[in-house]
Amino acid sequence: QLQLQESGPGLVKPSQTLSLTCTVSGGSISDATYYWSWIRQHPGKGLEWLGYIYYNGYISYNPSLKSRVSVSIDTSQNQFSLKVSSVTAADTAVYYCATYNYATGSFHYWGQGTLVTVSS
Amino acid sequence: DIQMTQSPSSLSASVGDRVTITCQTSQDIGNYLSWYQQKPGKAPKLLMYDASNLETGVPSRFSGRGSGTDFTFTISSLQPEDIATYYCQQYDNLLTFGGGTKVELK
């Protein structure tokens, strides 16, 4: 059973870059079944898909954030990462990594989530 | 962008009640819709995909139907462990979620 775990700073200053890593265990990040995804949830609000990356490097982003978001993958470490640049208080949220299965169109496995607060 | 309208935003029901949530999309998405359950402080859990296919291990009291722009999600007999917020998600064009429905016990 796949397990995902987010890691990274819980506090980021405005205008800086938010960086998170998701470590995958119980399976290989080179598994062709999944697209490795990032989703966030503003406090008390709904879910927002940020983007995903496939093991071969294919990437798709949410157009609303595309200019500030980047995802990358490190197959040697079984990890994938998220960067959000020029953050503001509006980027304060719980950030989840998850697996997206293209065949079902759904997010099957999720990390526990990590709260990132943007504040000076 | 495909807009998702989920209703109601919250509801109160008693144990054993039938609970129905609707999700409406701004354009035809076929059956490319999933449903998730999220309990406080936890990550969402996939319940259903392709509008009506139950994810492995999900109780059969959960069901879904619909296609095109109108979808429903039903809990046939509400159990205490079903208290959560439920989200729909479309995957026809990029990936977007509905606003959520919070289900509480009356």
For B100, which residue in chain A has the nearest alpha carbon?
A46
Give the nearest partner residue to B49 out of A96, A105, A110, using CB atoms. Answer: A105
Q: How many residues does chain B have?
A: 106
pLDDT digits (tens, 9 = 90+) for A52-108: 999 999 999 999 998 999 999 999 999 999 999 999 999 999 999 999 999 999 999
> Does B94 score more than 90 pLDDT?
yes
- The minimal CB distance from B50 to the residues A96, A98, A104 is found for A104
The one-letter code for the residue type at B78 is L
- State which residue of chain A sits closest to B29, comparing Cα positions: A105
CB contact under 8 A, A107 and B45: no
pLDDT of A45 reads 95
- Give the SS3 label for residue B81: helix
Q: Is the CA virtual torsion A68, A103, B71, B19 positive or negative?
A: negative
Q: Examine the pLDDT at A42 and tell me if it is beyond 90.
A: yes
Q: What is the pLDDT of residue A66?
A: 81
Q: Which residues of B touch A111 (CB under 8 A)?
A: 43
For residues B60-85, average pLDDT? 98
Nearest to B45 by CA among A108, A104, A33: A108
CA distance B76 to B19: 6
Chain B closest-CA separation from residue A95 CA (Å):
10
- Distant-in-sequence, close-in-space partners of A69: CB < 8 Å, separation ≥ 6: A38, A50, A51, A61, A62, A82, A83, A84, A85
